[in-house]
Structure 1
């Protein structure tokens, strides 16, 4: 199991929990949790790598995201989760066994302003350290 470290917040922004759970689902390769959070026509742009469209392609991309085959994730450090209206962003660090890190900034757009709106678009900026 991946160790998750989150910066405490006021707890008054429900979308922060959605983005936290989504980030955990990515590093734990939890396809069910990931797919329950996204819209059917989701678009995930992993900048410099590929653009993935639709739930089925997102599920397939999850298998190779975050170095699934090459390295084991040991920790996820969520430094900042910001939400406003139908948008949000997560700044995080993924720590692999051996100590290497992937620094991440993921920008999200939800399909609407309601609390039940699904993630419609993700733009991920990932840098190896």
Structure 2
């Protein structure tokens, strides 16, 4: 089980909510959400690994 902890906000931060949702989708392996949320030129840089490109 993965636990994701976020800082409580006033609910007025769409970017923060988007990043939270993307991280949850990634942790749970929901690739469809990740693909739908990214542009064709995305580069995902993971520390200690090679960059992932679309």
* TM-score band, normalised by shorter chain: 0.7 to 0.9
Could you tell me which runs of 5 or more consecutive residues in structure 2 were left unpaired when the two chains were aligned: none
* TM-score of the superposed pair, with normalisation by structure 1: 0.38
Q: Which structure has the larger Rg over C-alpha atoms?
A: 1
Structure with higher RCO (Cα < 8 A, 6+ apart): 1
- Distance in 2 (alpha carbons) for counterparts of 1:21 and 1:39: 16
Number of aligned residue pairs: 54
Q: Is the 8 A contact 1:26 1:34 kept in 2?
A: yes
RMSD of aligned Cα (Å): 1.6
Q: Which runs of 4+ in 1 moved over 2 A?
A: 1-7
The normalised TM-score by structure 2 is 0.81
| Larger helix fraction of residues | 2
Q: Structure 1: which 5+ residue stretches go unaligned?
A: 55-129
